[in-house]
Structure 1
Amino acid sequence: MSLSLVHSRALLGLEARPVCVEVHLANGLPSFTLVGLAETEVKEARERVRSAIQNTGLEFPANKRITVNLAPADLPKDSGRFDLPIALGILAASGQLDARKLAGYEFAGELSLGGDLRPVRGALAMSLALAHLANDGAMPRDKPGMPARQPKLVLPEGSAQEAALVPDAEIYRAHHLLDVVRQFLPGDTPPEVLDGWTRIAPIPRREQADYPDLADVKGQAAARRALEIAAAGGHSVLMMGAPGSGKSMLAQRFAGLLPAMTTEEALESAAVASLGGRFALENWAVRPTCAPHHTASAVALVGGGSPPRPGEISLAHRGVLFLDELPEFPRAALEALREPLESGTITISRAAQRAEFPARFQLVAAMNPCPCGYLGSSLRACRCSPDQVSRYQGKLSGPLLDRIDLHVEVGALAADELVNTPPGEASASIRGRVVQARERAIARQGSTNQALEGQAIDAQCQLDDAAAKFLNTAATRLGWSGRSIHRCLKVARTIADLAGAATVQVTHVAEAVQYRRALKAAH
């Protein structure tokens, strides 16, 4: 047989789109042509595949005209993931493998010159794509009325462990090209049982991931309360305080206050991390905390490149994005946060392609109140002029601050307080209250309070007369925008949920108002 078809997948954003690797052998001048909108690293597969086949003792059809087409032709293909399917396609087209046996499988893997298989990015996205197709009923069936057949996925060692996280996925691990070849030899002989070819069992998740404990932070009752509210309602937080007051410690422990990840959330987070090359099995079902340096560019935060790669805000999906020294970030990088804070997604558009990445993260930001950092401190005098303070705080635009729900001041503790203050409440007990508050919100409206929009805000955040009057007065005096009022309402609803109250009362609104005044109070 001079024509063979092998199935694989190409990554476009978080999508893993099907690719058919078509291999044709013909008589003529010997050549090896690869077509189908392949990037440079894919075109280099010609040399890797040739050497891998020869060095494993198999026959490379060097006297044939080899044409490899990666279909569809208009879908960009990158990385070395197509090495394995190209090699299998050549061996099947030359009659060394049974092409019919390859039909129920999809393959991806980079080949070394000696035939060893190396991991590839996005294995979890490939496995998720197959699972979604099976669930949608789009996969082929053996007989009418039978359940859909999900193709088996063959991957290198590290990638296979990652792909096996998807429930019910049938994933096979191979160490070497020969491990794969032995499974698809012509004839009816059963495949050999080899250590190099193994079906991967799903990895059990831990009941509770390990996070730093908030008990390590002494004092800071106001900041701890703000973080509890933020965790319960899915809100964003801005902490402002002097250097060394504990802002970074608080932020690093915030993920430990959030409810345990559901399987769906864990898969979403892991799939994005896999695209960015950051996924590790020990981090399975652990909420990520991404903390980019303040020199990070807008592209580093939101993603970009060709092909598009996820940025820090997508890598923090279902977790925490911690931005320390917030005013020191480039203005373009900060303004790029506006849309994902509202929508939970980021779309990267280029002339040739468009990719969408999830970005449903919780923003925890920290800043000093002034350039020297000691404005309002009781421990050390500030040496900044009012104009310097105004310029420094002015680096944060009003629209960005409008989108941050909670603004809280973090005061520095005196030396004797730091030494003598007992440890604070542990993360586990706070997380218990957070889980209960979230369950109330989801039972009531099907989402966290931060996700409420439009008429749902009016329906779920109803105020009694006294609370409505208080909010109107506060909003008028503080010059709030409509967005600020809505965000205050959602925070007040979360505070009521933490208190177990059915309606939003004056005390809940009053506390919510206090969390939007930190910068104004610093002037």
Structure 2
Amino acid sequence: MSLALLHSRALAGLSAPAVTVEVHLAPGLPSFTLVGLADTEVKEARERVRAALTSCGLRFPHDRRITVNLAPADLPKEGARFDLPIAIGLLAASGQLEGVQLDQLEWAGELSLSGELRPVRGALAQALALRREGAPRALVLPEPSASEAAWVEGVQLHGARHLLDLVAALKEGPLPSLRAPAPEAAPAPALDLRDVRGQAGPKRALEVAAAGGHHLLLVGPPGTGKSMLAQRLPGLLPPLPFEAALESAALQSLVGRFRPEAFAQRAFRSPHHSASAVALVGGGSPPRPGEISLAHQGVLFLDELPEFNRQALEALREPLETGRIHIARATRSSEFPARFQLVAAMNPCPCGQLGNPLKACRCTPDQVARYQGRLSGPLLDRLDLLVEVPLLAPAELAAAPSGEGTAAVAARVADARARALHRQSCSNADLPPGTLHEHAPLAPAAATLLQQAATRLAWSARAQHRVQRVARTLADLAGRAELQVADVAEAIQFRRALPT
């Protein structure tokens, strides 16, 4: 047979569209042509496949005109994932694999020059796409990638370490199958909220943020515990549902950062303030997920918030509202999920000592205004909680109680989240404005207080809705169905302006 057809998949976000690998051998001037909108990595497969087949003692058709087409031709292909299907296609087209049902299999894998199979990015995304389409095919991957894809239930998997092992299994018997590992509970977080001494107000804000999925900004002088508080937020969040954990792990797999031991753990991403807009929201050619997508279903911590590039911060505005990021380019576009919880920290002024009772601030009012002005009003409008973290005197810090640990606070957070999910099937932070009157009903006095605060503080409708959502979370923590004055008053206090 001079023509072989195999199935594989490209990577385009999390969709992993199907690709048909067509290998054709014809008489003529010997050549090896690879077509189908392939990038440099894919075209280099010619040399890897040639060397791998020769090293394994398999016959490479040097005397034939070889044409490999990756269809559809208008879909960009990238990476070394097509090495394995191209090599198997050459063996089938040259008659070295006869009677093998290749149409029942789907292939992906990188070849070394000795024929060993190396893992590829996006194995989880490929398995999810195969399950979603319901294609009656098994997936053949290098063993490390197959172990990664085995988390997806309902997909038949075959793993191999070497090309010769795979060829022998195709000729002589069934391919070795892999079974999905039993999901294990994520280990307890190593960071305990009890480590943060004092700071009862910011701790309360952290609990509210965890219970409702709200975005949080911590403002205070250096050394007050802002970073410590942010790092302990993932430990307060409930465990991820299995399907949500799969989606989060698939995003990690797209960039080669999936770790089985961290499966079902909430992601915690903390990019440096020098990160560009592309690094934060994603992009490049081909488009890759950024930090906001890698933090999907987890926490994105931005320390020294005003030091970030203004363009990078403004790029966060749409994902904060929609939970998705759509990256459009002239030749292609990709969409990635980005439902993350933002926790940001900043100093109140350039020197950081504004409001410090122990050390005078050296900044002028103009310098303070310019520093805080690096955060636009629309961005601040999308944050639910703006909390000041005060500096404690040494004697006060030494005498401050350690407070509750992570386990006790996480139990209350889990109860509040369960109430919200039972009532509205989503977190309080994701409540649509049109359903607030139904799921977050205000007592008459509470409604009056909210309207007075919105008028006096010149809040936008978005800010008013966010305060009502925070009040809904406070009522859930207290076990109340209706929002009372105390809930609204505390929510208003959690949305204080930046110190000046």
The one-letter code sitting in structure 2 at the alignment partner of 1:20 is: T
Does 1:35 pair with 2:35?
Answer: yes
1:506 aligns with 2:489: no
Structure 2 residue aligned with 1:278, among 222, 243, 257?
257
| Between 170-179 and 260-269, the greater mean CA deviation after superposition | 170-179
What is the aligned partner in structure 1 of residue 358 from structure 2? 379
- Mean Cα displacement is larger for which, 224-233 or 166-175? 166-175
Q: Find the partner of 1:416 among 386, 392, 395.
A: 395
Report the alpha carbon displacement of residue 99 of structure 1 after superposing the two structures with TM: 5.5
TM-score by length of 1: 0.94
Counterparts of 1:206 and 1:183, CA distance in 2:
32
1:53 pairs with 2:53? yes
2:181 pairs, out of 193, 203, 220, with: 203
Superposed displacement of residue 474, structure 1: 0.8
Point out the more displaced range, 505-514 or 406-415: 406-415
Deviation digits for residues 84-141 of structure 1 (CA, Å, limit 9, x no counterpart): 000000000111113642221111001011101111110000000111112xxxx3xx
Q: Work out whether 1:190 is the aligned partner of 2:173.
A: yes
Say if 1:200 and 1:415 are closer, same or farther in 2 by CA, change over 3 A: farther
Q: Distance in 1 between matches of 2:202 and 2:26?
A: 72
Q: Does 1:517 align with 2:470?
A: no
Cα distance in 1 for residues equivalent to 2:387 and 2:179: 46
Partner AA of 2:109 in structure 1: G
Contact 2:420–2:427 at 8 Å: present in 1 too? Answer: yes
Give the structure 2 partner of residue 253 of structure 1.
232
8 A Cα contact 1:464 1:504, kept in partner: yes
Q: CA deviation at 1:199?
A: 2.4
| Cα distance, 1:459 vs structure 2 | 1.7
Task: Give the conservation status (yes or no) of the 8 Å contact 1:56–1:178.
Answer: yes
Decide which moves more: 38-47 or 370-379. 370-379
Q: 2:270 aligns with which of 291, 295, 300?
A: 291
Within 1, Cα distance between the matches of 2:53 and 2:193?
55
The aligned amino acid for 1:154 is V
* Equivalent residue in structure 1 for 2:404, among 425, 441, 448: 425
- 1:127 is matched with 127
Cα distance in 1 for residues equivalent to 2:217 and 2:477? 20
1:176-220 per-residue CA deviation (whole Å, 9 max, x = no partner) reads 1111111222xxx434xxxxx642222233324332211111111
CA RMSD in angstroms, aligned pairs only:
1.2
How far apart, in 2, do the equivalents of 1:116 and 1:443 lie?
Answer: 51
The answer on whether the counterparts of 1:4 and 1:22 sit within 8 Å (CA) in structure 2 is: yes
Q: 1:341, 1:481 → 2: CA distance?
A: 17
Aligned partner of 1:12: which letter?
Answer: A
Q: Secondary structure at the match of 1:11?
A: coil
How many pairs were matched up?
Answer: 499
1:400 matched to 2:383? The reply is no
Aligned counterparts of 2:397 and 2:160: Cα–Cα separation in 1:
55
Once residues 217 and 184 of structure 2 are traced to their aligned partners in structure 1, the CA distance between those partners, rounded to angstroms, is 31
The equivalent position to 2:446 in structure 1, one of 462, 467, 476, is: 467
Task: Report Cα offsets for 1:315-339 as digits up to 9, x if no partner.
Answer: 0000000000000000000000000
Q: Distance in 1 between matches of 2:46 and 2:333?
A: 28
Hey, what's the Cα distance between the residues in 2 that align with 1:433 and 1:198? 47
Q: How far apart, CA to CA, are the structure 1 residues paired with 2:157 and 2:203?
A: 44
Contact 2:219/2:387, CA 8 A, preserved across alignment: yes
State the secondary structure of the residue aligned to 2:140.
strand
User: Superposed, which structure 2 residues align to 1:105-116 within 5 Å?
Assistant: 105-116=105-116
Aligned to 2:6, the other structure's residue is in SS state: strand
2:201 — aligned with what? 222
Query: Is the 8 Å Cα contact of residues 239 and 407 (structure 1) preserved in structure 2?
Result: yes
Q: Which amino acid aligns with 1:367?
A: M
Q: Which amino acid aligns with 1:112?
A: S
Provide the rounded CA distance (Å) in 2 between the counterparts of 1:45 and 1:448: 47
2:140 pairs with one of 150, 154, 157: 154
- The 2-side partners of 1:198 and 1:243 are apart by 57
Given that residues 123 and 159 in structure 1 are in contact (C-alpha distance below 8 angstroms), is that contact kept between their aligned partners in structure 2? Answer: yes
Aligned position for 1:177:
163
Q: Which residue of structure 1 aligns with residue 305 of structure 2?
A: 326
Question: Secondary structure in 2 aligned to 1:15?
Answer: coil
Q: What runs of 5+ residues in structure 2 fail to find an aligned partner?
A: none
Alpha-carbon contact 1:5-1:99 (below 8 Å) kept: no
Inter-partner Cα distance in structure 2 for 1:203 and 1:514? 47
Residues 407, 518 of structure 1: 8 Å contact kept: yes
Could you tell me how far apart the structure 2 residues matched to 1:335 and 1:209 are? 35
Q: Secondary structure at the match of 2:235?
A: helix
Is contact 1:321–1:364 with CA below 8 Å preserved after alignment?
Answer: yes
Secondary structure of the corresponding residue to residue 422 of structure 1: coil
Could you tell me how far 1:515 is from its partner in structure 2?
A: 1.0
Q: What is the CA–CA distance in structure 2 between the aligned matches of 1:90 and 1:284, rounded to whole Å?
A: 37
Q: Which runs of 5+ in 1 are unaligned?
A: 140-148, 192-196
Structure 2 residue matching 1:172: 3-state secondary structure:
strand
1:5-27 deviation line (CA, Å, top 9, x unaligned): 11110001111111110111111
Give the structure 1 partner of residue 19 of structure 2.
Answer: 19
**8 Å CA contact 1:288, 1:316 repeated in 2:** yes
Q: State the partner residue of 1:69.
A: 69
1:367-393 alpha-carbon deviations (Å, 9 max, x no partner):
001111111112221111111111111
User: For residues 249-290 of structure 1, what are the alpha-carbon distances to aligned partners after superposition, in whole Å with 9 as ceiling and x for unaligned?
Assistant: 110110000010110111011011111222111211111100
Distance 2:5 2:296 in 1: 36
Paired-residue identity, %: 63
CA displacement at 1:419 relative to structure 2: 3.0
C-alpha contact 2:185 2:264 (8 A) present in aligned 1: no
Secondary structure class of the residue paired with 2:53: helix
Shift, 1:422, TM fit: 3.4
**Which moves more between the two structures, 417-426 or 376-385?**
417-426
1:166 alignment partner, one of 148, 152, 156: 152
What is the rounded CA distance, in whole Å, between the counterparts of 2:73 and 2:482 in structure 1? 58
- Give the counterpart letter for 2:14 in structure 1: L
The answer to whether the 8 Å contact 1:209/1:285 transfers is no
Determine the C-alpha separation between the residues in 1 that align with 2:52 and 2:186.
44
